[in-house]
C-alpha cells in the first residue's frame, strides 16, 4: 500500500521522484514494477489540480477530471508497498550518479536515493484578475488539443501577444469563426506574416490589457479592457507561455 512519510531524516529509496502529477505517478508505477523502492514528493499543486476535464485521453469515453486522474493514479499505486509519499517541497538536491543523491526539504529534512526523477511540470501564465483561479479549466484554458473540440462554434477570446497566440487562434478557426485575439501586453510581437493570416481569417487583434472580467462560478461571460472595450466570450484560451516551476537547487558532489 502507499504510505505517507513523516518528515524525519535518514529515509532512503532507490529513486526520488520530485512531483506527484500524472508524470511523477507514472514514473513511480514503472519503477515499482521493476521492484524499486520509490519516494514521491508531492506538494499537491500543478496542472492536475485545476478544474480541468480531459476529453482527449484514450480509454475515458466521457472524459476524466484531472483531479480524478490523480486520485485514480494514487489508487493504482496503493497496490505497491514499495512506493511512499512525502508531502513536502524539495528545495535542494545534491550528489551524482556515482555517489547517490540527497534531497533536502524545508527545515533541513533529507532523503537519500540512487536516482532522481524531476517531474515538476510547468506553470502556465494565465491572466491575473480577482478570482482568476476559479475559471481555470472551466472557461479559461491553455490547450486546444484538450479543450478546443468542446468549444467549437463558441465565442472564444485568445489572449497572447506572440506568433504562438496567433497560431492558436488560427487553429481554433477550424472549430469556430467567432474568435478575437487580445494581446494583454505592452507590446504586440505578432509578426506581419501572422497579422496577415489573422486578417484573412477575419480574426480581429485588440492591442489592450484586461482590466476586469464578468462571470461567476468559473464561467466567463465578458472581458473588460483598460480602454473600456467589453468583449463577450464563452471561453478564453491563454497563450501567454509557461515556465518550469522553481526547481530544487542542484549541487553536484565535490570530487
- What digits encode the pLDDT tens for the residues 31-69? 999 999 999 999 877 777 778 888 888 999 999 888 899
Q: Per-residue pLDDT averaged across 180-200, rounded?
A: 98
CATH class of 3-122+244-251: alpha beta
Which carries the bigger pLDDT value, residue 152 or residue 11?
152
pLDDT (0 to 100) of residue 174: 95
Count of CB atoms situated within 10 Å of the CB of 223: 27
pLDDT > 70? residue 3? no
Domain with CATH 3.50.50.60 in the chain: 3-122+244-251, 126-239
Q: How far apart are CA 146 and CA 153, in angstroms?
A: 16
Strand partners, 223: 213, 231
CA gyration radius, the chain: 22
Q: Which three cell numbers stand for residue 6?
A: 513523516
Higher-pLDDT residue of 232 and 106 is: 232
Answer whether 177's CB lies under 8 Å from 202's CB: yes
Contact in structure between 17 and 113 (CB atoms under 8 Å): no
- In 3D space, the residue among 170, 155, 162, 151 whose CA is nearest the CA of residue 125 turns out to be 162
In the block, cell 500500500 appears at: 1
Q: How far is CA 55 from CA 2, 59, 109, in A?
A: 28, 10, 40
**Domain boundaries 126-239, corresponding CATH code:** 3.50.50.60
pLDDT band at 255 (very low <50, low <70, confident <90, very high): very low
240 in helix, strand or coil?
coil
DSSP 86-105: E-S-EEEEEEETTTEEEEEE
Query: What's residue 28's pLDDT?
Result: 97
Which of 201, 196, 194 lies closest to 172 in space, CA to CA? 201
Please give the pLDDT value at position 76: 97
Residue in the structure block whose three cell numbers are 480602454: 227
Q: CA separation (Å) from 145 to 138, 172, 175, 181?
A: 15, 10, 12, 18
pLDDT of residue 176: 97
Q: Is 61:152 a contact under the CB 8 Å cutoff? A: no
Cell output for 231: 468583449
**More reliable by pLDDT, 48 or 173:** 173
Q: Is 35 left (phi over 0), alpha (psi -120 to 50) or beta?
A: left
* Residue 76 in grid coordinates: 493504482
Q: Write down the pTM of the prediction.
A: 0.81
Amino acid at each position: 500500500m502507499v504510505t505517507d512519510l513523516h518528515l524525519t531524516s535518514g529515509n532512503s529509496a532507490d529513486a526520488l521522484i520530485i512531483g506527484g502529477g500524472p508524470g511523477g505517478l507514472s514514473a513511480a508505477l514503472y519503477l515499482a514494477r521493476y521492484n524499486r523502492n520509490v519516494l514521491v514528493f508531492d506538494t499537491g499543486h500543478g496542472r492536475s489540480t485545476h478544474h480541468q476535464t480531459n476529453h482527449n485521453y484514450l480509454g475515458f469515453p466521457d472524459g476524466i477530471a484531472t483531479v480524478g486522474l490523480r486520485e485514480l493514479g494514487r489508487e493504482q499505486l496503493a497496490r505497491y508497498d514499495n512506493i511512499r509519499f512525502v508531502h513536502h517541497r524539495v528545495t535542494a538536491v545534491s550528489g551524482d550518479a556515482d555517489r547517490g543523491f540527497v534531497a533536502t526539504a524545508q527545515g533541513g529534512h533529507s532523503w537519500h536515493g540512487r536516482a532522481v526523477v524531476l517531474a515538476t511540470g510547468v506553470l502556465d501564465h494565465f491572466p491575473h484578475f480577482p478570482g482568476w483561479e476559479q475559471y481555470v479549466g472551466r472557461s479559461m484554458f491553455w490547450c486546444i488539443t484538450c479543450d478546443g473540440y468542446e468549444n467549437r462554434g463558441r465565442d472564444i477570446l485568445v489572449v497572447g501577444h506572440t506568433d504562438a497566440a496567433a497560431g492558436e487562434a488560427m487553429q481554433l478557426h477550424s472549430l469556430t469563426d467567432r474568435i478575437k485575439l487580445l494581446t494583454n501586453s505592452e507590446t504586440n510581437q505578432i509578426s506581419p506574416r501572422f497579422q496577415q493570416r489573422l486578417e484573412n481569417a477575419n480574426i480581429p487583434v485588440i492591442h489592450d490589457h484586461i482590466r476586469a472580467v464578468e462571470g461567476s462560478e468559473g464561467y466567463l461571460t465578458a472581458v473588460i479592457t483598460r480602454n473600456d472595450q467589453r468583449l463577450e466570450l464563452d471561453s478564453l484560451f491563454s497563450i501567454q507561455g509557461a515556465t518550469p516551476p522553481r526547481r530544487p537547487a542542484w549541487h553536484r558532489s565535490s570530487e
